Amino acid sequence: MAKTQAVPPLIVLFGEEEHRKLRLLEDVLDRVLPPPVDRSLCLASWDASRSVEQGGPTIAAVLEDLMTLPFLAERRVVVVRSADAFISTHRERLEAYFGAPSPTGVLVLECRSFPKTTRLYKQAEARGAWIEECKKLAGRAVAEFVSAEAARLGKRMAPAAVARLIDLVGPEAGTLASEVEKLALYAGERPDITEHDVAELVGQSREEKIFAVADAAGQGALARSLVLWRQVLESDPEAPYRVVGGLAFVLRRWLLAHRLREAGQPVAAIAPRVMMWGRERELEAILRRNPPRKVRAQLAALAELDAQAKSGLRSIETGIELLLTQLAA
C-alpha cells in the first residue's frame, strides 16, 4: 500500500488472513485519520454479517455516510466488514457511486474475495483504489512472519525457537502474533526469545500434555498414556490437528538423545538438551525401551497416519491410540 499515494475513494482488504486485514485496517485509519483527528466524528463502521434488523448496513445508509461532509477532518471513512454478500447484492449501486464518488468519502471494504474479472474491480483500479490481498501464511512465510513480529517488538528469535512455536500453535498469523507478544514480555530485558522460553510459556498450555502422552507410552505405561490422550481430546478440540507435530517432535527428541549418548554424553547432560529438565530417570527408561530403529519406525508410521488422515482414510484419534500401543510394547 503506497503511503505516498493520494488517498483514494475506495480501499479493499480481501483474503483469508484475518490478522493481516486487521493490521492493514489499523494502518489505513492511521494514514487517513491520523491523530489528533477525533474518529468518532468522521468514522462509520458497519458489520455486514448482520442483517439490517440486527444493525447491519443498507446501501442507502453506507452511501449517505460517504456523502456526509467530515467534521473537523479532511475525510470521512466508512468501513464495511464481512462485505462479500453486501458487495454482491449492491454491486450496481456501488459501481454507480464510484462513477462520481464523494471527494471526501473513503469506503473501506473488508471481504474474503474481490475478483479481478468484475467491473467493480476494474473501476476501483481506474480510480486508484488501494487493493490488498491477504493470503494465509504458508511455507517459509510463516517463519518469516514470526521473526518479523519478534523484531517489531525488539527481540530476536533463533530458527529453532521459531520452528518450535509454529509446531506448538500452528500457522495462523493472529495466534502467532499473540504468542510472540507474550514471549517478548516473558523475556523481559533479554534481547533473545529462546526455544526454552517457548517451551516454558507456550508449551505448558498446549503441547506439554501431548508430550506427557508420548513419554508415558515410551516408558511402557500404556494405560496412563491412553488416559492422558483421552483427556487431551476432551480438553483441546484442536488436538487432532496438533498431535502429529507434537509426537513427531518428541520422537525426534528421543533420536537426538540417542545420538548424544552414543557420542559419550551422560544422561544428566542430555536431559536439558531434549527438554526433560530434572527427569533423567524417565529419559533413561525411554531410551532403554525405545532404541533408534524403533523410534524411526514410529516416525514413519506417524507420517503415514498423517497422510491417511488428510485423505480421509483413517482417524487421527484411533491411529494415535495404535501408535501409543506400539510405543509401549
One domain, residues 192 and 293: no
Do both 210 and 196 map to the same domain?
no
Q: 95: domain range?
A: 10-134
283 in a structural domain: yes
pLDDT band at 2 (very low <50, low <70, confident <90, very high): very low
Same domain, 58 and 97: yes
Residue 3 maps to a domain: no
Q: What average pLDDT does range 296-309 have in this prediction?
A: 92
How far is 228 from 177, CA to CA, in rounded Å? 29
Cβ atoms 23, 56 nearer than 8 A: no
What pLDDT is attached to residue 117? 93
Domain assignment present for 213: yes
Query: What backbone phi and psi angles, to 5 degrees, belong to 130?
Result: -85, 115
- Same structural domain for residues 197 and 231? no
Kindly state whether residue 245 falls inside one of the protein's structural domains: yes
Same domain as 211, residue 111: no
Instruction: Calculate mean pLDDT across residues 114-138.
Output: 92
DSSP one-letter code for 16: S
- Regarding whether 229 and 216 lie in a shared domain, the answer is yes
Regarding predicted confidence, which is higher, 4 or 224?
Answer: 224
Last residue of a domain, one of 73, 103, 134: 134
Do the Cβ atoms of 107 and 10 come closer than 8 Å? Answer: yes
pLDDT tens profile 272-293:
888 887 788 999 999 999 999 9
On whether residue 238 sits in a domain, the answer given is: yes
* Domain end marker among 134, 154, 181: 134
Which of 169, 203, 237 terminates a domain? The answer is 203
CA–CA gap between residue 147 and residue 161 (Å, rounded): 10
Q: Is the peptide bond before 36 cis (omega within 30 degrees of 0)?
A: yes
Q: Are residues 199 and 210 in the same domain?
A: no
How many domains does the structure of the chain reveal? Answer: 3
- For residues 157 and 174, membership in a common domain is answered with yes
Domain annotation covers residue 2: no
**Are residues 157 and 245 both part of a single domain?**
no
Domain at 109, CATH number = 3.40.50.300
Statement: residue 244 has pLDDT above 80: yes
The number of C-alpha atoms within 13 Å of 20 and in the hemisphere containing its C-beta is 21
What is the structure's pLDDT at 211? Answer: 87
> Are residues 104 and 218 located together in one domain of the fold?
no
pLDDT at 156 over 80: yes
1 within some domain: no
Statement to judge: residues 244 and 299 lie in one domain: yes
Q: What is the mean pLDDT of the chain?
A: 90
156 lies in the same domain as 224: no
The confidence score (pLDDT) of residue 1 equals 52
